[in-house]
Structure 1
Amino acid sequence: MKHNITKKTLCALAVSTALSTSFTALAQEQDANEGGLERIEVTARKQVESLQETPVSVTSIGAAELAEKGISTIVEIQQFSPSTTLQASRGTNSTLTAFIRGVGQQDPLWGYEPGVGIYVNDVYYARPQGAVLDLLDVERIEVLRGPQGTLYGKNTVGGAIKYVTKEMSGSTEFNAQATVGSYSQRDIKLTGQIPVIDDKLYVGFGYANLNRDGFGEFLVAPAGQDTENYNKDVTAARVTVEFRPSDDLFFRFDWDKSEDDSNSRGGYRLAPSLLTDAPIPDSIYDSYTSLPTWNKVELEGYSFTANWDVSDNLSLKYIGSSREGYSPTNIDFDNTGINLFDVPAVYDDENTTHELQSSYFADTFSVVGGLYYYDGESCGQFDAILGGLGLTLETSGCNNSTSIAAYVQSSIDLTEKLSMTLGARYTEEEKEADVFYGFLPGAAYPFSGWTDGYVRGPEVSVPQSLGVDTNGDGLLDAPKKADWSRFTPRLGFEYQYDDDTMFFASYSQGFKSGTFNPRASTNENAADPEVVDSFEIGVKKDWGSALRTNITLFSLDHKDRQYIVVVPDPNDPTVLGQNLGNAAQSDVDGIEAEITYVATDNLTFDLSVGMLDAEVKQDPAITTPLVGLSNTPDNTYALSANYVLDSDVGTFVFNAGYYYRDDYLIFEDNDVLNQDGYGMFNASIAWESTDGNWYGSLHGKNLTDEEYLLGGYVFVGGVDDDGNFLPGFGGDTTVAGYYGDPRTISLTVGYRF
């Protein structure tokens, strides 16, 4: 999948040059605009600075814009950040698929490491389960594109998503809002803060109860099961305590918990079943299942932050956290009313982190550095029930890791206009894993009571397939271990041409953690870490007070990609053949542009463009050909307009936007599931009373009711001469898709004081 990036880049540069000429005229025309461009502050480099002075490709969306556009979950941020994919993954509402610039992780199984890091108040979310965050008391969302290996460490080879909650103001505040909408949507959000000791001790809280009926239904399901498909039932709570004993000291304690009790999502069969007489459903949101429809994703964690401003130049910060997640889930791979290929599974993980950070600012340089420690345990079990074969393949185990890192990054003024960024991180990591792989007769489930009346049968064979023989008796009785170390540098130069124009160029490197195969059927070695080298050049410019153009060209080399394919063994139906190793690499070149034009004091236009060109190379030992990058469209575009109208009854904000994603693959090793390019139109009206207490908004999303794939499963044995699918794993032609939300309308009303 290789195109002519040279022609594309030259074309892009020509277009940007032509646009720049027009932009100059527009800026001169609007220079008297009193409203003008707003100053946007970000913490992409772990210090507060202006977006226009930050030499990083970053998109920042603040609380006001999130509310005006009705953005309710973190996945909707993909519509505003170029070359970004944030989507709910397959069988649950809460599991995240994240890709930036073609780098991410498609499989959410325990033990696999993400390629895009998720951070909430600088606390790392290690697993995709529960990472589809509903926005509650948020200050802003930052999307950092490209490797962030120096300041953010492992598993940020594609980039990082930063979720920043609001700091307390020190006064008594309360905010209550309710939302009703399509499919019986009924949401309640309550947030507030109370000063316990004036100017010193504050307590804040947040609570959300989010409900919606399903977009479709399970046309066939076990008796007594809820048949709604794509419904929503989420509760979330947060408590924050902030303490400021003096002007120089700040302490914050955060606790949060969320529980997603939405039904497990059922996929839409894209090919008729050979073993049942159920037709392909009329609606893409309808499905069939032989499993229970219940599902659960539970997350709970706490963090502690301490900040000490030692002097006007030096500050010290400590961030500690502990998080755990638990998710029993039902995944019907075949999506039929019989148990051809059913997977009841359990994911269970916990981790702790500690980070000690210091920042020093002088007239001609600044330095940020620190120490970081991560200790995580990720375990799980899935029972692949193969009803046609009368058995269950059972896989269970743990994939645990410990990581220690030291990092430093400095910005140095070489001249009055030229500065240099120099950074490095050194990481040492150790992993240990064991995997049990075997089979049981009949239908087996992770624990008794999974279905009504179930009693687990005797185990016939559950040998350990991944581990170490410590006694020399031929039995694997200890976890297998591997360790790695990595030095990840960053070098950049920034030239401040004038107060409104900055040119920058940088080289950065990131790595994604090595891992063991959690589906291992043999005693195999771990895959080594992935490494991404990235080069960027860009310009950030404000043309007077009316126009802002941020343009970046980049090229990244993604080496040692951990390529995993699951194929049935034709000689033994009880064995899922595996291939886990560093068997592929990719090169991605691209250009990204983010443009804001303030046409008048009341009217603003925003445009974002992302264009990618990728080449994928694979190890000759891989017999299944790679056909491209998954979840990565070549082109993404977004255009929106925002109009503010002041009236006697308050302020109205009208917003309309169009978002386009080019065609993309769901899986890298086949093009059976390929989403064609599509566009989505959204519109909103927001209102705030003159005293600022009452507010409301009306939001229409996906108004053209586009149908688009988010994920799926493909288990077929090939294609015959007539183009028909041949039976695959489970003895059926299983091709199923999971889709994004249909057209929805919602109304929100709130009161705050």
Structure 2
Amino acid sequence: MAKISQSTQIPVNTNTPNADLFVNKKFAFNYFIICMAMFILPPYIYAKNSNELEHIEVTARKTVENIQKVPLSVTSISDSKLSINNFESLTEIQQFSPNTSLQSSRTTNSTLSIFMRGVGQEDPLWGYEPGVGLYIDDVYIARPQGAVLELLDMERIEILRGPQGTLYGKNTLGGAVKYITKKMTGENEFNISTTLGSYQQKDLKISGQYELLKDSLYIGFAAASLNRDGYGTFLTTSIPGQDKENYNKDIFSNRVSLEYTPTDNLFIRLNYDKTSDDSNSRGGHRFIPSIQTKEAVPEDVYDSNISLPTWNTVVTQGSSLTFSYTVSPSWLFKSVTAHRDNYSKVNIDFDNTSSRIFDVPAIYDDKQFTQEFQLNYTSDTFSLVTGLYYYDAESCGQFDAILDTLGISLEVRGCNNSKSMAAYGQSSYHFNSKLSMTLGARFTKEEKDAQVYNGFVIGALYPESSWVPGYTRDQNQVDASILKVLDDSKKWSRVTPRFGFEYQQNDTLMWYTSYAQGFKSGMFNPRALKAEPAVSPEIVDSYEIGFKSQWADFMRLNTSVFMLEHQDRQFVTVLEGAHPGELDQRLGNIGKSDAKGAEIELSIAATNALSFDINLGLIDSEFTQALAFNGTSYDNISDRFSITQTSDITSNISFNYDFDSFTLNGNYYYRSDYQLTVLDQLMSQSGYGLLNLNLNWFSDQGNWHASLYIKNLTDKQYLTGSFGFVTKDKDTGEYIPGFSGDKLLMGYYGAPRTLGITLNYRFN
């Protein structure tokens, strides 16, 4: 769990001799077990084994390939693995991918924080761009709000680690996550499942498909109602009649698809999906008693206090049209047209007291349209993936920072709109039966325009009337005080290359080496106080060497070693300064960092009934430059900066054992300590492990499936996110209050131990 000082109950940095010893002992045990599995089990199994692993196909390079032939670090998780492990949301996938962090990190269940190889997104505010791309059926999801996707009617999840700037474009400089839904099987069927579990969990899922025209037109559907009480409670609220559940779940999600195959070479698919998340705002755990209200630190880490409404609303929906035409055995044309939008109304209580010390009610409103045309060619010696891409997005928002201590409210609102056009191509050429070369590049031209309004009014200000009972917003008063401080546009263009060699030593062993570049979009400061210039895109240059091997048919071992340089990192140049957390933050390309590491993935079919999956991720990442504006010039304070959400060690050991009509499976996931705040290591999480077990039963006819699961069996407490609006006195180590006049240091936690049972029935 989080490292806590015995005297003050404040999280402290785990980089102390005792903490390191503790973490290293735990890792040494895990690493020993992994080494035993990797280097002792294989020869033993090899001598006795005639079993086979499943054949895995992926679309990591926008064409269907055997995962063992793809010269990338790719993890693919099938629908069967998702089902028998009882995965519920995208965040659980991190356990099966090394050097990957997927967290629902702060005040909502639905806002996703993704980091890969030390690259991600610190701030989910509109206008800021992600460092890892997220895709649903080849459609890019631009914003993190509503991106904690429920795993509904899935075919597989693909996780691509390392820059994907050539085929996938901007904002994939750390990697990409691909969420791929099921296609129609051609058979009429209907599935229904229900789950009952801890904290009054009550889930209902239905899915199915129906043939409308024989052998050509099908309709498919899926829907889920997901409900659970909170892990904790809002102990005090200043608004009567509020739901006091903290960390609860109230989600409804649905999807409808039409698939039409009029001829053997033409395929058309129309998708629509919508998710409504009405779960409460998540209250953070205070680590320091309030000096304003004298409220104590709650005993339970899932309990909190709040002075805002507890409700949140996140609605995300989208539609897409996919057109795929096989021109000839060598040529394939594909078009993907999509529109998505997200609307969120959220309540963020930064102080987590019953007083309005620092309350931020906010609205996020995002829309995007994308169009991609793709043309692929394949022959025995040469393959080519080419395409044109268009992206048009509007990202807007508004927040009111209510500061009762100062008697004012600050309002910031505006839009960061973006248009992007790209042309790309990537080819693979086989010099002979063993040696091949990959060469690719993408040209992107991008334009952004931004408007930012900023100012303050006397008293408490909310985005809309009736946000709290009896409140009426005086728009005339607001318009007189909130001024347009920025109205500007900027254009960028970039070529992102990829280059590599592959050597197929034999039928079961491939070596590869590659260089790839990714970039993160330039942007304007959505919190600007004046007409400051836009910041340039971030750039990552990555170098990777690896091999993919298949030992007979029962063992698969893939490894990679990588190094990356991250330049022009976008950060605020006025950081915490004399007033921690102040909203006067100028944005600039002020940071540089680098990372080096390794990843190992091993799968073993030990017997016809027993199989193992093991992965290990190692990374050493650090800032080499971080510039802070001192009023006249810049100081390099990289020694105060940390790469957040990035553990030096991530590992997972999972097993699957089939007997009679049952399957017993489980996994132990371990990650070493990681920082939760960029500056001054205000909060960190020490290393921890999660143990999960599942028992599945399948009927002989295959219609019934029941599952009993236990997640986080040992009930570990671990932080997934934080807010810190304090600084440390350099001499005494005491925490100094921020501009709100209080010591605000909050933490948000992952799920405790949960148990559940699922029953599924399939009609066909």
Q: Given the two structures, how large is their TM-score scaled by the length of structure 2? A: 0.92
The answer to whether structure 1 residue 466 and structure 2 residue 480 are counterparts is no
The answer to whether structure 1 residue 676 and structure 2 residue 686 are counterparts is yes
Q: Which amino acid is 2:571 matched to?
A: Y
CA deviation vs aligned residue, 1:61-104 (integer Å, no higher than 9, x gap): 00001111111100001000000000002000000000000001
After TM superposition, give the deviation of residue 563 of structure 1 in Å.
Answer: 1.4
The answer to whether structure 1 residue 125 and structure 2 residue 141 are counterparts is yes
CA deviation vs aligned residue, 1:627-685 (integer Å, no higher than 9, x gap): 32001011101011110112xxxx21101211001100112112111011111110001
Q: Which amino acid is 1:259 matched to?
A: S
1:191-590 alignment, distance < 5 Å: 191-221=207-237, 222-457=239-474, 458-459=477-478, 461-467=481-487, 480-564=488-572, 567=575, 576-590=583-597
After TM superposition, give the deviation of residue 399 of structure 1 in Å.
Answer: 0.2
Q: Which amino acid is 2:165 matched to?
A: G
- How many angstroms apart in 2 are the aligned matches of 1:712 and 1:595? 34
Show structure 1 runs of 5+ residues with no match: 2-12, 468-479
Q: Which amino acid is 1:488 matched to?
A: T
CA deviation vs aligned residue, 1:226-272 (integer Å, no higher than 9, x gap): 11000000000100000000001000000000000000000000001
After TM superposition, give the deviation of residue 456 of structure 1 in Å.
Answer: 2.3
State whether residues 27 and 547 of structure 1, in contact with CA within 8 Å, keep that contact through their aligned partners in structure 2.
no
- How many angstroms apart in 2 are the aligned matches of 1:454 and 1:574? 27
After TM superposition, give the deviation of residue 729 of structure 1 in Å.
Answer: 2.3
After TM superposition, give the deviation of residue 465 of structure 1 in Å.
Answer: 1.6
SS in 1 for 2:302: coil
The answer to whether structure 1 residue 60 and structure 2 residue 76 are counterparts is yes
Q: For residue 47 of structure 1, what is the aligned residue in structure 2?
A: 63
State whether residues 34 and 614 of structure 2, in contact with CA within 8 Å, keep that contact through their aligned partners in structure 1.
no
CA deviation vs aligned residue, 1:113-166 (integer Å, no higher than 9, x gap): 000000000000000001100000000000000000000000000000000011
The answer to whether structure 1 residue 610 and structure 2 residue 617 are counterparts is yes
After TM superposition, give the deviation of residue 717 of structure 1 in Å.
Answer: 4.2
Structure 1 residues 390 and 567, CA gap change in structure 2 (3 angstroms)? farther
After TM superposition, give the deviation of residue 569 of structure 1 in Å.
Answer: 7.5
After TM superposition, give the deviation of residue 712 of structure 1 in Å.
Answer: 1.1
After TM superposition, give the deviation of residue 575 of structure 1 in Å.
Answer: 6.6
State whether residues 168 and 193 of structure 1, in contact with CA within 8 Å, keep that contact through their aligned partners in structure 2.
yes
State whether residues 270 and 280 of structure 1, in contact with CA within 8 Å, keep that contact through their aligned partners in structure 2.
yes
- How many angstroms apart in 2 are the aligned matches of 1:441 and 1:297? 29
State whether residues 644 and 674 of structure 2, in contact with CA within 8 Å, keep that contact through their aligned partners in structure 1.
yes
After TM superposition, give the deviation of residue 739 of structure 1 in Å.
Answer: 0.5
Q: For residue 705 of structure 1, what is the aligned residue in structure 2?
A: 715
Q: Which amino acid is 2:623 matched to?
A: V
Q: For residue 20 of structure 2, what is the aligned residue in structure 1?
A: none
The answer to whether structure 1 residue 36 and structure 2 residue 15 are counterparts is no
State whether residues 568 and 729 of structure 1, in contact with CA within 8 Å, keep that contact through their aligned partners in structure 2.
no
- How many angstroms apart in 2 are the aligned matches of 1:108 and 1:124? 16
Q: Which amino acid is 1:43 matched to?
A: T
State whether residues 57 and 552 of structure 1, in contact with CA within 8 Å, keep that contact through their aligned partners in structure 2.
yes
SS in 2 for 1:716: strand
SS in 2 for 1:578: coil
- How many angstroms apart in 2 are the aligned matches of 1:686 and 1:185? 19
Q: Which amino acid is 1:637 matched to?
A: S
After TM superposition, give the deviation of residue 566 of structure 1 in Å.
Answer: 6.5
After TM superposition, give the deviation of residue 18 of structure 1 in Å.
Answer: 10
- How many angstroms apart in 2 are the aligned matches of 1:155 and 1:664? 23
- How many angstroms apart in 2 are the aligned matches of 1:624 and 1:363? 54
After TM superposition, give the deviation of residue 577 of structure 1 in Å.
Answer: 2.2
Structure 1 residues 574 and 211, CA gap change in structure 2 (3 angstroms)? closer
Q: For residue 22 of structure 2, what is the aligned residue in structure 1?
A: none
After TM superposition, give the deviation of residue 723 of structure 1 in Å.
Answer: 3.4
State whether residues 395 and 435 of structure 1, in contact with CA within 8 Å, keep that contact through their aligned partners in structure 2.
yes
Point out the more displaced range, 76-85 or 275-284.
275-284
Q: Which amino acid is 2:651 matched to?
A: Y
- How many angstroms apart in 2 are the aligned matches of 1:15 and 1:61? 23
- Equivalent residue for 1:641, pick from 652, 655, 663: 655
CA deviation vs aligned residue, 1:387-418 (integer Å, no higher than 9, x gap): 01110011000000000000001111011111
The answer to whether structure 1 residue 667 and structure 2 residue 674 are counterparts is no
Q: Which amino acid is 1:305 matched to?
A: T
- How many angstroms apart in 2 are the aligned matches of 1:462 and 1:15? 60
Structure 1 residues 26 and 326, CA gap change in structure 2 (3 angstroms)? same
Structure 1 residues 658 and 569, CA gap change in structure 2 (3 angstroms)? closer
State whether residues 115 and 645 of structure 2, in contact with CA within 8 Å, keep that contact through their aligned partners in structure 1.
yes
- How many angstroms apart in 1 are the aligned matches of 2:593 and 2:582? 30
- How many angstroms apart in 2 are the aligned matches of 1:570 and 1:409? 50
Q: Which amino acid is 1:524 matched to?
A: E
Q: Which amino acid is 2:656 matched to?
A: N
The answer to whether structure 1 residue 719 and structure 2 residue 729 are counterparts is yes
- How many angstroms apart in 2 are the aligned matches of 1:323 and 1:24? 47
State whether residues 569 and 577 of structure 1, in contact with CA within 8 Å, keep that contact through their aligned partners in structure 2.
no
CA deviation vs aligned residue, 1:688-727 (integer Å, no higher than 9, x gap): 1110000010111011111111111111143375433221
- How many angstroms apart in 2 are the aligned matches of 1:168 and 1:263? 36
RMSD: 2.0
State whether residues 625 and 637 of structure 2, in contact with CA within 8 Å, keep that contact through their aligned partners in structure 1.
no
Q: Which amino acid is 2:194 matched to?
A: A
After TM superposition, give the deviation of residue 37 of structure 1 in Å.
Answer: 1.4
- How many angstroms apart in 1 are the aligned matches of 2:673 and 2:221? 42
SS in 1 for 2:468: coil
Structure 1 residues 564 and 93, CA gap change in structure 2 (3 angstroms)? same
Q: Which amino acid is 1:263 matched to?
A: N
State whether residues 576 and 727 of structure 2, in contact with CA within 8 Å, keep that contact through their aligned partners in structure 1.
no
Show structure 2 runs of 5+ residues with no match: 1-14, 16-30, 628-633
State whether residues 57 and 65 of structure 2, in contact with CA within 8 Å, keep that contact through their aligned partners in structure 1.
yes
SS in 2 for 1:536: strand
Q: For residue 98 of structure 1, what is the aligned residue in structure 2?
A: 114
After TM superposition, give the deviation of residue 224 of structure 1 in Å.
Answer: 1.1
After TM superposition, give the deviation of residue 522 of structure 1 in Å.
Answer: 1.9
Q: For residue 138 of structure 1, what is the aligned residue in structure 2?
A: 154
Structure 1 residues 180 and 537, CA gap change in structure 2 (3 angstroms)? same
Percent identical pairs in the alignment equals: 52
- How many angstroms apart in 1 are the aligned matches of 2:461 and 2:512? 58
- How many angstroms apart in 2 are the aligned matches of 1:743 and 1:18? 29
CA deviation vs aligned residue, 1:156-208 (integer Å, no higher than 9, x gap): 00000000011101110100000000000000000000000011000000110
Q: For residue 470 of structure 1, what is the aligned residue in structure 2?
A: none
Q: For residue 171 of structure 2, what is the aligned residue in structure 1?
A: 155
Structure 1 residues 265 and 556, CA gap change in structure 2 (3 angstroms)? same
Q: Which amino acid is 1:606 matched to?
A: D
SS in 2 for 1:52: helix
State whether residues 344 and 364 of structure 2, in contact with CA within 8 Å, keep that contact through their aligned partners in structure 1.
yes
Q: Which amino acid is 1:627 matched to?
A: F
After TM superposition, give the deviation of residue 279 of structure 1 in Å.
Answer: 1.1
